[in-house]
Amino acid sequence: MEIWINPACSKCRGAISLLDAEGAEYTVRRYLEDVPNEDEIRGVLDRLGLEPWDITRIQEAEAAELGLKEWARDAGSRDRWIKALSEHPKLIQRPIITAQDGTAVVGRTDEAVRDALSR
């Protein structure tokens, strides 16, 4: 199990606390420092069953600078979104937990973290 976190994020700290309380074995990836490449983002998206715009933090200043709200959300634009997430990792929703069964969840709630633990 791996968890992508930003240590400054309260949701990330909450997820880590819950994982620790449950005695889970996991690896922490500080994705702002250890930035995922485009292939890693594609892999996580496949595991999540989501599209890149589904895990993009549109409210961030960088998103506004890039004009992401106006970007198309279709198959033809997928690679553009993935490239933006790789180049601007702050835009990636957090925390993302990869479960042992090959799936992943965005662990913003205790329920989502527990869901990852049960897989």
For the stretch 32-68, pLDDT in tens is 999 999 999 999 999 999 999 999 999 999 999 999 9
Which stretches does DSSP call E strand in the chain?
2-5, 27-30, 96-98, 104-106
Does the annotation count 9 as an active-site position? yes
Q: For the whole model, what pTM was predicted?
A: 0.93
Give me the catalytic one of 1, 9, 28, 112.
9
